[in-house]
Structures are given as structure tokens and as C-alpha cells.
Chains A and B, each alone.
Chain A
Amino acid sequence: MIDSNNSSASANAAASISANRRQQALEVSIAGDWVLEAPVPPLEPVLAQIDSASQLKRLEFSMAGLGRWDSMLVTELVKLLDCANRCGIAVDKTTLPLPIQNLLALAAAVPERIDAHRQQQSVSWHEAMHAAWVGALRESRAMLVFVGEMALSTLATVRGQAHFRREDLWLYVQECGPSALPIVTLISLLVGLILAFVGAVQLSLFGAQIYIANLVSLGMTREMGGLMTAIIMSGRTGAAYAAQLGTMHVNSEIDALRTMNLDPMAFLVLPRMLALILIMPLLCLYADLMGIIGGGLVTVNFFDVSLTEYLDRTASAVKMKDFTIGFVKCAVFGILIALSGCMRGMQCGRSASAVGEAGTSAVVTAIVFIVVADSVMTVICNRLGI
């Protein structure tokens, strides 16, 4: 703590404050140590005295017994002065130590901005409901606007009117493709394994273990391969996109791009989106393959089916159209993941926690979209009989 110059006078004296009326003046005596880490007496009695006193003209100070002091004392003095001001009482500051006078003058140098103050109102539940409804409306509107802007800048890029960096595209392809392989390998191998075990429990009851191959290969190619890849990528890449764009927004980098006449959509969002759309189907095929291998490991090792039988069964069960369905689904998921990641990033607020929220809501939005889209597509395929 900062010691005042006369600190040696008293070591660790308890703080005290008292007020004496002398005709038209009130003399406030302050003594002892007024520091942040020691307790200080309440100011209210003195404030009450100032408020209630009649015919009070002047406030004086006697600081003879003052020991160490810091912001604590100045804060209390500010309160005293405010109170005296409100009551229209003149204050004689000359007896205050010079440094305190300086600090008080500085604190009063810039008047308080009254219009800056903010009120916190409490909200009733139906106001909260209304706010939530309005929020949801605004949200869906923002989503539509984003998709619209996206479409426009895609068009502009196709026409060659917008700046699009090829190098960036390859960078993002690198980032979301090859570097995602390890985790995709692990997860889809395990999913294939699990599918095989789950199916085997029932199928081996009537000696139909060979159909595990059908179950695994169809399950992986039509559904699980794409779904698992999508969920991995929304956590891995969607969140990363949101955080990257969000941080750029916090640092005003996106504003800077706008002033340089570069469309942030074409410059930042489009390459990311394109990279994900290109890579997702490939990852999906890879995941299908890994799943089938995982299923094979289980079937061959535990259920008395030979490797050739397994492969034979798989080849006859899976048609080209099954791969195509998975492929198309995954491309759609890619669009959805990139969309939600980039959208949350571009909508990000201007603080560190806003970046975190953008990441979280990117993943949540992506997963909701993925699951809904998957259900819809599955129903459609079912109806069309493919």
C-alpha cells in the first residue's frame, strides 16, 4: 500500500471519524489509518448530521491524527463532499493534505456522464417469454439473411466479380481433410464394431451370423458413416470456423476487410464452406470403409464366419445407390456444418466469452440441423423406395 508522507506518526492506529458543530460550521475530524485492508467506521452518522443540521454553512476538516491512507479515505471523502454539495454547504478543503486535494480535484475534473448510467430493470415472466419469441424470430431472420448473402456472394464469385483466394481453399481442405483422418478412423472403426456386436446378439440366435455383414455394410453406408462423420466434423471444424471468424470479428479484422472492399462472405466464408463440402463425402466413403473393416474384425474373429464369406456378403448386399445416398447426405451435412459454423462466427459479439458462445452454438446448431436433415432425407428415400 502507498504510505502517505506522515505515515511514521502512527502505526496501525484504528480509523475514527467524528463531527463537531461549531456555530455555522461542522468540523469533521478524521484520525487513524484509512486503508483498504483495515476496517473503517461507517460514514452514515456524519452524513446524517450534515443532512439534518439546520443553518449549516461550512464543512471543515481536521486531519491532525491521520495515519496511513489510500483510496479508502479518498473514496469516503468523495461521499462526504457529494453529500455536502447536495445540501448546498460550502466545503473548506484547505486543511486536507495536499495530495488528497489534488486527487479530489482530479476525480472531479471530468463531470459524471449522467446519460451514461444504465438501469437494470427486473422483467416479469411474460416479458421474458415475449423476449424469447422475438429473439427466436430475429434468429431465424438472421439465418435467412445469412443464407441469402451467402448465395449472392457465391453468384458473384462464380461470375468472377468477387475476390476468392484459391490458396485459402487448399489450406482449409488440408485442415478439414487429412488432419481429420485419425479421429474419423477411430470412431468409424468402433461404430462398425458396435454394429456388428449389436446385430450378432440377435442374428446368432437362429444361426444367421452371416447377415451381420449385411447389417454392418448397409448401416454404415446408408446412415452411420455419414452421421458419425458429420458429428465429428461439426465438433472439429464447425466450432473452429466459428472461433476463427468470431475472433476476427472481435479484432475488427472483418470490418477491415469490408473497408478494403473485400466481401467477407466470399473472402472468408466461401472457401471454408467449399472445403467442407468437397471433403465431407470423401471422409464419408472412408468412414464407410473403416466401419466395414471394424464389423469384419468382429464377425471373422468371434462369429465363425470366414473373411471371404464376409466380403462376399458385403459386396452383394451393398449397391451403388447405397453409397450414393451416403455420399449425398454427407455433402448436405457439410453444407449445414459450414453454414452454422460460419454463421455463428459472423454473428459473434465483441468479447472473449462471445467467441466461446459462438463455438458452442455452432456445434449445437450443426447437430440439430444434421439430425433433422438426416431424418427428412431418410423418410424421403424410404417413400421413394431407394
Chain B
Amino acid sequence: MAEACITVKDLTMTYGDFVIQRDLNFTINRGDVFVVMGGNGCGKTTLLRHMIGLKAPAQGDVYYGDQGLWQSDPKTRERILSRTGVLFQSGALLSSMTLAENVALPITEATELPAKKVREIVSYKLALVGLAGFEDYYPSELSGGMQKRAGLARAMAMDPEILFFDEPSAGLDPITAKLLDDLILSLSNALSATIVVVTHDLDSIFAIGNNSVFLDAETHTMIAGGPPRQLLEQSADPSIVRFLTRGEQDGRHGAKHLIGSDR
């Protein structure tokens, strides 16, 4: 079953001379919900930008199957990336279009469905994220959390194989956040979509993540990887344990007893 979907090899990311992260190596399997963890400013969004072809790596490459994203010619890259959907940290909805137009954008771009059908699909997608009835609103007329969810609907519009979510649950109320977790799980379990999530929400991390990578801002590299629960049980690294226990444990004693109380 474990078929590699995305492989990151020796990836080094920089802004100018400033190294954000170096020597990243990990594999995301098909159907995984892969969590990228780390403190603010450690380079999670930057890693995502490398994976979705927005920023070229200083070294190394991101492989989709066996095709290196940055070694391929632009045409191939475009084809690889057409199978992905992205939710940006800030939503990134086009502000001059209504929600329906925003979500319809990737659909009308890729298919030739009649307008009525597109409208129906859009309504269904908006219903999935709990925004049924808001088709004709402009992004600026929505709350922050609603904008986020609309961004999610746009990311899922074409039922992409691979979804990238940058902090999907930031700014969502707990009930909506739970529904979002359910949505992510059904997308991944049932439809074998691969999902890469950047998130700080510990509940989500343990509820949905079946693999992860932990980026460290001080050493500028990944210091752990694996299923989040296993990390919490087995890791002795203080910064990981502190992260996964909200700073309540400093890592010297392990954190095994916390697992039982979690969900």
C-alpha cells in the first residue's frame, strides 16, 4: 500500500543567503495525511511553497512519483501541479470575485461543463465546508474563518489527488475545526487523496495525522519524523515533546501518560 507520492530529497531552502532549512529528507505516501509541524517562522510555509512549485530550492528537489519537480521542464511541472490543490495561509481568495466565481475558477479552467452544472458543483463544495448559501458574497464580506473555508472549497474544487493545506484550522471555531478534520479524513480515507497539512492544532495533529515531520528553527533542519502519536510516545527531544504537550512537559520524563487522556 505504501506507495510514495511525494519525496523530498536533500532539500535546502534559502531566502538570499539566509538558510531557512537544510537537508530535508522525507517521503509522503499516497493516501497519507502528512503533518508539517514546527514553531512560528521555522519555514513551514516556505516548505509548502517549494512543494507546490512557487519557489525554487537552493539545493535538492521535490519528487512527485519519480519526477523531480524542479528538474522537469515547465510543461511537465505544470502537468504535475495540475493534480494538486492548495489552501494558502491567508485564504488568498480573489477579492474581486464572488465565492462562487472563486471556486468555479479551477473548474471552468480545466473542464467544459455547462455553467449550470459548474454552479451545482460549486454549491456542493461550499456546502462541504459549511458555506452553503454564500455563493454570491465577496470575500471581503465574510469573516476570517469563512474566508479560510472558502479557500478550502476552492482548493478542493477539482478533486485534486494531492491537497496542501497551510493552517486550515487557524481561525475556525472548535466545531467547524472538528468538521474540517472529518472532511480531511474522508477525503483521504475514502478517496485516497494525499493531504499535506501545516498545522499547530494539537488535537488535529493527533486526530488526523498519520505521518509527520518536525522542523526546528534553531538547528535549521528537521529533527524528527513519523506518526505524531509515536513521536509523542517515543521522542526524547525536549523541543518536540514541549511542542506536542503545549510546553507542559520538558521531555526528560517522556510523555507517555498524556496519551491516555488525549481524545
Hey, which bits of chain A sit against chain B, CB under 8 A?
Answer: 1-5, 36-37, 70-72, 74-75, 78-79, 97-100, 102-103, 106-118, 120, 250, 349-354
Known A-B contacts A74-B124, A78-B127, A99-B190; the reply to A351 vs B132 at CB < 8 A is no
What separation, in Å, do the CA atoms of A349 and B139 have in the docked complex? 12
Closest-by-CB residue of B relative to A100 is B190
What separation, in Å, do the CA atoms of A89 and B125 have in the docked complex? 25
Known A-B contacts A108-B127, A111-B132; the reply to A5 vs B96 at CB < 8 A is no
Does the CB pair B192–A116 fall under 8 Å? no
Does the CB pair B94–A106 fall under 8 Å? no
| Interface presence of B233 (CB below 8 A) | no
A5 CB contacts on chain B under 8 angstroms = 190, 192
Does the CB pair A116–B134 fall under 8 Å? yes
Interface residues of B in 102-129 (CB under 8 A from A): 107, 110-111, 113, 117, 120-121, 123-125, 127-128
**Which listed residue (B95, B121, B192) contacts A71, Cβ 8 A?**
B121
A70 CB contacts on chain B under 8 angstroms = 159, 191
A113 CB contacts on chain B under 8 angstroms = 132-134
**Which listed residue (B111, B134, B139, B161) contacts A351, Cβ 8 A?**
B139
Does the CB pair B140–A351 fall under 8 Å? yes
Known A-B contacts A71-B159, A109-B179, A113-B133; the reply to A353 vs B96 at CB < 8 A is yes
| Interface presence of B230 (CB below 8 A) | no
Offer 29 A-B interface pairs, CB within 8 angstroms, sorted by A: A2-B161, A2-B192, A2-B193, A3-B192, A4-B191, A5-B190, A36-B121, A70-B191, A71-B159, A72-B121, A75-B117, A75-B124, A98-B190, A99-B186, A99-B191, A103-B190, A106-B128, A107-B127, A107-B132, A110-B179, A112-B127, A116-B133, A117-B133, A118-B137, A250-B95, A250-B140, A351-B96, A352-B94, A354-B96
Total A-B pairs in contact (CB under 8 Å)? 104
Report the minimal beta-carbon distance from B218 to chain A, rounded to whole angstroms.
Answer: 31
B127 CB contacts on chain A under 8 angstroms = 78, 107-108, 110, 112
**Which listed residue (B128, B137, B158, B190) contacts A36, Cβ 8 A?**
B158
What separation, in Å, do the CA atoms of A108 and B127 have in the docked complex? 7
Other contacts beyond A99-B190, A353-B95: 14, CB < 8 A: A1-B159, A2-B159, A4-B191, A5-B190, A71-B121, A71-B125, A75-B120, A103-B128, A107-B132, A109-B179, A113-B132, A116-B137, A118-B137, A352-B96
Number of interface residues of B (CB under 8 A): 38
Report the minimal beta-carbon distance from B64 to chain A, rounded to whole angstroms.
Answer: 16
Report the minimal beta-carbon distance from B176 to chain A, rounded to whole angstroms.
Answer: 8
Most chain B CB within a 10 A radius of its CB, from A4, A102, A110, A114: A110
| Interface presence of B130 (CB below 8 A) | yes
B110 CB contacts on chain A under 8 angstroms = 36-37
Closest 8 pairs (CB-CB, A-B): A99-B190, A351-B95, A110-B130, A350-B140, A353-B96, A112-B132, A113-B133, A116-B133
| Interface presence of B72 (CB below 8 A) | no
Report the minimal beta-carbon distance from B116 to chain A, rounded to whole angstroms.
Answer: 11
Interface residues of B in 56-70 (CB under 8 A from A): none
What separation, in Å, do the CA atoms of A350 and B186 have in the docked complex? 35
A102 CB contacts on chain B under 8 angstroms = 182, 186, 190
What separation, in Å, do the CA atoms of A74 and B139 have in the docked complex? 26
Does the CB pair A112–B189 fall under 8 Å? no
Closest-by-CB residue of B relative to A2 is B191
A109 CB contacts on chain B under 8 angstroms = 130, 179
B183 CB contacts on chain A under 8 angstroms = 106
